[in-house]
Every structure is written in C-alpha cells, then in structure tokens.
Amino acid sequence: ILILEYGADRPGDIKYLLEIAKPKIAVISAIGGTPVHIEFYESSQAVAKEKSKLLENLFTSNFAILNFDDEMAMGMKEKTRAKIMTFGFNLPADLSAENLLKAEASAKEGEVPDVKITNFENKYGDNETIGVSFKIEYVGSFVPVFLKNVFGKSHAYAAAIGATVGIIYNMNIVEIAESLSINYKPAKRRMNLILGAKNTHIIDDSYNASPLSMKQALETLRDLKTENKIAILGDMLELGEYSQGAHEEIGRLAAEGVDFLITVGQNGKIIASAAERTGLSKEKILIFDKAEEVIEPVKKIIKNKDLI
C-alpha cells in the first residue's frame, strides 16, 4: 500500500497530482473555516472545491473517507460515486452553540460517524500516563487506544483515519487499536511532547501552523491541568485577506488558556494585541520580531514543571 499526501497550495495542484497517481482511497482529513494556503484561493469554498477533485476521480469500487466533524468535508459527499465512510467525534470543529445543536440534531436522526471517537482525554501526569486516551467505536464495538507522548485531538483523528482504512481492508478492529497503541509514531513537530530545560515539558507543534492547528494546540493547553502554561506563538502564513482576523482569533483564544504569552513576527503582534484586549495582562506578554530573540528571555521566565 502506497500512502501519498495530495497537497493543494494553489488552484490546479490536485489535477496535476492526479495525473501522476490516481488513488483507490481518498481521505479528506479537514478543510476548516480558514484553511492553510487560502491566500491563493478566493475563499474556503474554493479550497474545498479544489480538494473535491480527489473524490470526483474515484470509481464506484473505491472509497472516500470524510471527516464527519468538518462541514465542508461532509459537503463533498455529492461529488463522488465512490463508497463513503466517515470518521470523527460527532462534534463540530467549531464548538459554537449553533453548531453543537446541529450535531445533537444529526445524532438524534441517526447521523453519526461510521468510525466514532469517544471518551477522549489528554493525560498529563507521571511519565507512564502522558499522552492521549480514547476509544474507537465501529458497528457497536468499542476498543481503547492510548497514544504516548502526544497531545490533542488531531492525533485521535489521525488514528481514526488509519482505523477506517484498516476496516476497508478487512482488518480486525481490536488488532488495529492494539497496533496503534504500540506502533503509533506522530509526524515531527505535530503536537509532540518533548522534555525541556528546568524539568519543563514542551508541546512542539511548530510545523507550518494554520488557524485550525494553532486553535487545537491552544485548546489542548487550556484543558491540561498544570500550574503554569506558556504559549510561544509565531506567524501563520499564506492566509491572504483572512490573516488579520485569524491572528486576532488566536490571540483571544490564547488569553483564555495561558498564563504567559510570547509572540514572534509581524502577525504575532496581532496575536499579542488581541490577547491583551481579551484580558491577558500586558505584563504577561512579550513580543519579538525574530525567533532567536526569544531564547534568553524564555530561560529567565520558565520555572520547574512549566508547560510550554
């Protein structure tokens, strides 16, 4: 089995990649309200349209795997003749009251993911229990999964995608869960936990930040139980006209869940300003132009067992 990423930085990218290799299974992991690389598209709908070309090229014997929690991904169902399987929490990526009511209504109507993630928890205690714990549900069977030294729902989504592909290939759900718990290796700089100076823990999510990934990282930091939380945030690139609003939203979210905020870059200043307006004390915010300027001040700020 060959697994390929079909990235879409600009219009026409998916068509070009399909000329190289046509998949038998296509996964739409997420689109989000402000997708990464949106700078080169007119709107998030245009990004979704580009990615839907993956599904349009599938045959009836193929499979489309869609993120049940992403409204735009689910909107692609009509774009394919392939068999469809879904995965998710049955919760919208944007947890507004309106979207939660929609999710509740769909559940009552029997609309739930084929492969459902339940009982999710970020565990942060002794070294034996650091990671994410959840269950994967499929046709009435529940199997536990524990992924070591990672945080955030993005890893549960990744595991659910893998489980869905395994189910398509007639793998046993129990064996899938056991294999994930033993063999799961996250991509580098994607919500990985590493040990820092002064016995601190660092959640490294520094690979190509997007509004969705940064939002999930801050929500994870907010939910973890520890005495002192520090966020070091840089620019999110390739957002075009959406950049100002996206960075302001991240600033507001940071103010709700961190004890100290450090920003880097021009757009980082937007994050800092929004955080201060939302209620984070100015004394708890440091602003820098370049990443290398952060090193010495951070050494002075961090204390034993801080979470960064």
- Determine which of 90-94, 153-157, 268-272 has the lowest per-residue pLDDT on average: 90-94
* Percentage of the chain exceeding pLDDT 70: 90
- Do 79 and 49 contact (CB within 8 A), yes or no? no
pLDDT computed for residue 223 by the predictor? 86
- Max distance between CA atoms of the chain, in angstroms, equals 60
Q: Between 9 and 110, where is the model more confident?
A: 9
Domain ranges for the chain, please list them.
13-183, 192-301
pLDDT computed for residue 38 by the predictor? 61
**pLDDT digits over 176-201, tens only?**
999 999 999 988 888 888 889 999 99
Binned at pLDDT 50, 70 and 90, residue 126 comes out as low
Q: Between 94 and 227, where is the model more confident?
A: 227
Binned at pLDDT 50, 70 and 90, residue 97 comes out as very low
- The dihedrals phi and psi of 296, each to the nearest 5 degrees, come to -65, -45
Determine whether domain 192-301 maps to CATH 3.90.190.20: yes
pLDDT computed for residue 167 by the predictor? 96
Question: How far separated are the first and last CA of the chain, in Å rounded?
Answer: 37
Q: What is the mean pLDDT of residues 79-107?
A: 68
- Which tokens in the block code for residue 15? 């068509």
Q: What's domain 13-183's superfamily in CATH? A: Mur-like, catalytic domain (3.40.1190.10)
Binned at pLDDT 50, 70 and 90, residue 90 comes out as confident
Neighbours of 46 (CB within 10 A): 14
- Which tokens in the block code for residue 160? 């659910």
Q: Is residue 82 over pLDDT 70? A: yes
Length in residues, the chain: 308
pLDDT computed for residue 10 by the predictor? 86
CA distance 138 to 112: 11
CA distance 280 to 220: 18
Q: Is residue 91 over pLDDT 80? A: no
Q: Is residue 108 over pLDDT 80? A: no
- The one-letter code for the residue type at 67 is N
Residue 90 region, left (φ>0) first, then alpha (ψ -120 to 50), else beta?
A: left
Among 250, 234, 215, 249, residue whose Cα is nearest residue 288: 234
**pLDDT digits over 21-80, tens only?**
999 999 999 887 655 556 667 778 888 899 999 999 999 999 999 999 988 899 999 999
- Measured CA distances, 9 to 14, 109, 167 (Å): 9, 37, 31
Q: What is the mean pLDDT of residues 80-84?
A: 97
**pLDDT digits over 254-307, tens only?**
999 999 999 999 999 999 999 999 999 999 999 999 999 999 999 999 999 899
Q: Is residue 174 over pLDDT 60? A: yes
Among 150, 224, 222, 212, residue whose Cα is nearest residue 187: 150
